Every structure is written in structure tokens, then in C-alpha cells.
Amino acid sequence: MQNMNVIPSGKTSTHATRVFFILVNVSFVLWLLSLANTHIYRFEPSAFYYIGQLDVFYWAGMVTIIGVVVAMLLTRARGAYNNSLALDIACIAMFVLYLFGTPLFIYDLPRFGDVYYVLEMTETMISGAGFGLTGAGGDLGYLNSFPGAIIYFSFVKIVSGISGYQLANYYVLFLMMLLSLLVYAIARRISGYFMLIAPICFLSLAWAQEYHLSPQSLALILYLCLWLILIIRLLGNKRSLATYFLLVMLSLSIVVSHPGTPIFILLNVAALYVVTKVLNRLKLSSVSLNRYEVMALMLPAVFWLSAVAQAYVIQGIAMLSAAVVGLSSGSYHLEYSLGMAQPDQMFVDTLRKIITVAEIAIGGLCILLLLKKESRRTGVLLGCWFASCFVFQLVAQNAVFGRFLVFALFPFAFLVSATISRAPKYRLSRALAAAAVILVIASALIIPLISYGGDYYEFMPRSRISAEQYAESKNLPQIRSSDFAGDGFLALAAEKPYNVFLTYGPQWYNFFHVKYSRGDEYAGMFNRAGQSTVYTNGEYSLQGYIIDNPS
């Protein structure tokens, strides 16, 4: 069996490498030309608006870099391999720039509304506010329960001296490049000289809305570092005190930074421990976690759960009490949609579902293929990782659907790269590898639609920031940018509490679609006295506070 941890020398292809480097540079120039010709100051209420603004230079460059990666894979499949780490990193960097860097340079401000709330917490931290870890008094906010990421972002802002907008905007490049390199490093241990496909697969399918300045994104970096250590240990059978120490520190850093990520750690470790114990007893696999590694990974999470338990209990009792009072008073009623979803939204949603189903199907087949005797350790490890992510979704249902996709994407990328590395040896591997490559290419080409098609809900024009600053200077009533995902001066005046709209249900999207489709009314409200109602249906209303009338 070929040792997948060692990159074979094979036949060198210096000429091909030079051609690939030239084409990568061509794609970079085309990307710069696309930025020079594209800028978005406002959004039309259409899921196709962003993709429609991308010019021919963008598409020519995207096709070029995809062609380079496919050609490199075919070259390596034939045994001609030139160990060029720089070329691999250059290809990864181009995918990051095209898929995630483009909006950073053609939008005025950071695209996702959550970042403004994070920036507000960062400013609060810098101003001298305290922080905690126990959620005392039932407060489960980041500053009082999970301050790790906010402390880190505050430290970066102080040391670098950059503005909050710059930090939020260009953090995406740092995040996606670092995650890609960690995926690349892990894939090197799993799939040998086909490791490039793993980060490309990750980037092409990373359409879920979690990759921005947020505690979740920082926890993802720590989460991958933790898995890198685990895979090195489990596939290399190397144990040391340093390994246990690193696992404890990484796990502890995660649990004090983000509330959801520790749940995935618990699920991953539990699945891996139980499955490997059973397989070892049946003498079907030799990979396993020992009790010290399980303790190193799970004890910090268990401590975290016990530390914030009182906050969860207080919050749960409050929610239950409110429900009982509502039922007894007869004021409790069901949620319903304000209207049908728009056709363009339904189309994008269908594409996302198709890609998700294809990802699950291909991932499952890859697991079955890797469970062959010669690659069983890899199959068991990645299979437990991939499958355990589904358990979270079964419990969470539709509340945080994107979170499951974010975590399951990592093992999926490794499953694909491991399958492709075995494609030259097995006919079934070749067919499955071809299907995976087609999925990756298709997703990379339509990411402007499936990832940025909803940006007219999140887009923040610079004029809105200017309006907010003006209102602050005049001490006028206002809704801050962070209050409604970056939508300053808009109040969803309703009987429903604010957290209903955080679920991103139909009401949320319908409100935003009304706002953008009635742009003239929205713009005109700043020139009329009093308070202008843009839309109302008797129960909900969309209103704007006037800023041009200080009196």
C-alpha cells in the first residue's frame, strides 16, 4: 500500500509547472481588471443582482484558475508531479480572492450585518468594559459568557491600529486563507500529492453565511487546529504529553469563545470513541482515542456547560413562564409568513438544497469506499467526523442549518481528496472522483448566486453609516446598525420580540424585499417630517426615523 503521508517524487514536470504559474498570474490580472470595472453602491431586490454585476474579466479569470487546478490534478494522476508548494498556495490564494475577496473590494463596507454587532462589542471591550465566563444573571452574551473571540479582535485592533471597518472587511481574507492552509495541511496527511483538491473543495462549497468577523469564525480556526493534531496522532500513532497539553488548550480556547462549537467537539469525540471501540473489539480497525485524549477534549466542554448552567436554567425558566402567561391570557398565536417567497429566492434555495444533497450523497459513498481494508483507518476517522455533524442538525432542525454545513464541509473535503488519491487504482473511485470534481467546479461557478444572492438583505451602503453618524450628532432617535443586522434607522415595529427576526424566517426576508423594491419611498422618508411608514399590513410595519428635521 502506498503511504499517503509521504509525497512521492514521481516524474518532474518543470515545463508544466511554469505554464501553470503563468496561467495563475493571468487569472490574478483578470481579477484586478474585474475589480476595476465593478463597484456596487446599492442593491436591487434580486438574487441575481450580484452575479449580474460581474464582468467578463471575472468569468475569464475564474475559468482560467479552475482549468489550472483540473490540469494539475490530471497531471498528478498520470504520475508527473513537481513538488511545488508555491504553486499549490498560489492556486488556493486565487480561489480565496475570486470567491471571497471580490465583494470586499466592490462593496463600500463589510457585507454581513453581524460584523457590526461584533465591532460594537469590540469597542465596548476596548473602552474598559469587563467580561465574564459564567453568564451570571442569565446573560449569555459574548462579553459575559464567551469573551475569547472579542478579546482577540480587540487585541488585534489595538495592536494594528486599523479601523473597525478595515478589520471586519479584510479579516475575511485572513480567515479563508488560514482555514484553507489548515485544510491543506490535514489533507497532506490523508491524500498525499492530491492534497490540493481538499482546500479547493472547501472554498468552492463554503457558501453558508458563517465566514465573516465573528466568534464562530475564530472558533473554526481553533477547531481545525485541534483536528490537525488529532489526525497526526491517530494516523501516525504518536502520543506525547505535548499532544495532551495542546488538545486541552485548544479545547479550552474554543469553549470560552463560541457557544456552539464545543457541541460539535463533544459529538465528534463521542462518535469517534464509541465507533472505534466497537471496531477494535471486532478487530476491524486499529484507530482509537485513549481515555486521556478523550478527557483532554471533553473536560473543558463539560466544565463550560456546568459554568453557564445557571444562565441556561434562568433563561429556560423565563421562556417557559412567558409561554404559560401567554397561553393563559389568550395572546399566544402561531407565526406565519407575510407572503410567498420571491421566485429568485426559491431558485437559489433550490440550488442550495441540490448541492447539499449531492454533498451528503458523495460524502457517504466516499466513506463506504474508504472502508476497504487498506484505507479503513482513514475511512473510520473521516466517517465518524462527517456523520457526527448530522446529529447536531437532527436536534437543531432548521434553526441553524448553515452551522451543520460549515462543520460537515471539512471532513467532506478530506473524503473527496482521499477518494481522488485512490482513483487511479479503482474504477469506482474514478467515477466517484469525477462526480465530486463536477460538484466542486459547479459550486465554484455559482457561488456568486448561492452565497451572495441574498446580499440585498445584508448590504450596508456607506450612506447609511453617514446618516447614522449625523443622527448621533443631533441626538436623534435611531436604531443602531447592530440592532437589525446592519439596517440602521429601520424599526420593525411589531408585537413580536426582536429575537424572532434573528431566526431569518419569512417575515425577515419579506420586510427587506419590500424595502428594496420600494426604494423611492425609502429614500424619500428622510425628507419628510415626522415618522414615515414605508409598509404596513396591520400587524407589522416598516418605519424610518427622520434625520433631516432636528426639531
Long-range contacts of 34-43 (CB under 8 A, 24+ apart): 34/58, 34/61, 34/102, 35/102, 35/105, 35/106, 38/102, 38/106, 39/106, 40/106, 40/107, 40/459, 41/108, 41/461, 41/462, 42/459, 42/461, 42/519, 43/455, 43/456, 43/459, 43/516
Mean pLDDT of 229-253: 81
Say which residue, 142 or 167, is predicted with more confidence: 167
Q: Does residue 249 form part of some domain?
A: yes
> Which range in 166-175, 249-258, 391-400 is most confidently predicted, on average pLDDT?
166-175
Same domain, 528 and 379: no
Q: Which long-range contacts (CB under 8 A, 24 or more apart) does 124-128 make?
A: 125/150, 125/151, 125/154, 126/154, 126/157, 126/158
Q: How confident is the model at residue 161 (pLDDT cuts 50, 70, 90)?
A: confident
Residue 223 lies in a domain: yes
Average confidence (pLDDT) over 216-243 = 84
Residues 26 and 121 in one domain: yes
Residues 75 and 159 placed together within one structural domain of the fold: yes
- Could you give the count of Cα atoms lying within 13 Å of 40 in the half-sphere of its Cβ? 25
pTM score: 0.81
pLDDT at 329: 64
Predicted local confidence at residue 298, as pLDDT: 76
Same domain, 276 and 305: yes
pLDDT, average across residues 412-438: 85
Instruction: Look at residue 4 and tell me if it is in a domain.
Output: no
Complete edge-to-edge strand list for the sheet that includes strand 532-536: 490-493, 541-544, 532-536
Q: Is 194 domain-assigned?
A: yes
447 with 510, same domain?
no
Determine the 3-state secondary structure of 283 from DSSP.
coil
Domain boundary among the residues 434, 456, 478 is at: 456
Q: What is the pLDDT of residues 258-270, one digit of tens each?
A: 877 888 888 888 8
Judge contact between 482 and 141, C-beta under 8 A.
Answer: no
Look over the chain and give the mean of its residue pLDDT values, rounded to a whole number: 75
Domain region containing 44: 14-456
Instruction: Give residue 346's identity as a one-letter amino acid code.
Output: M
Distance in angstroms (rounded) separating the CA atoms of residues 189 and 87: 19
Residues 9-23 pLDDT 10s: 445 467 788 889 999
Q: Are residues 296 and 416 in the same domain?
A: yes
Same domain, 284 and 395: yes
Where is the domain boundary, 398, 421, 456?
456
**Sign of the dihedral defined by the CA atoms of residues 312, 313, 318, 320, in that order:** positive
Q: Which residue, of 427, 456, 485, is where some domain finishes?
A: 456
In this prediction, residue 529 carries a pLDDT of 38
Residue 67 maps to a domain: yes
Helix (H) or strand (E) holding 532: strand 532-536
Residue type, 236: G
* Residue 322 domain-assigned (yes or no): yes
For residues 204 and 307, state if they share a domain.
yes
Report the Cα 544 to chain-centroid distance in Å. Answer: 32
- Residues 252, 166 share a domain: yes
Q: Of 30-34, 36-40, 87-91, 426-430, which gets the smallest average pLDDT? A: 426-430
512 band by pLDDT with thresholds 50, 70 and 90: low
E strand or H helix that includes residue 187: helix 164-191
- For the segment 493-501, the average pLDDT, to the nearest whole number, is 32
In this predicted structure, the answer to whether residue 109 has a pLDDT above a threshold of 90 is no
| 6: in domain | no
418 and 471 assigned to the same domain: no
Structural domain count, the chain: 2
Residue 9 in any domain: the answer is no
Task: Let me know whether 104 and 162 are in one domain.
Answer: yes
* 277 and 387, same domain (yes or no): yes
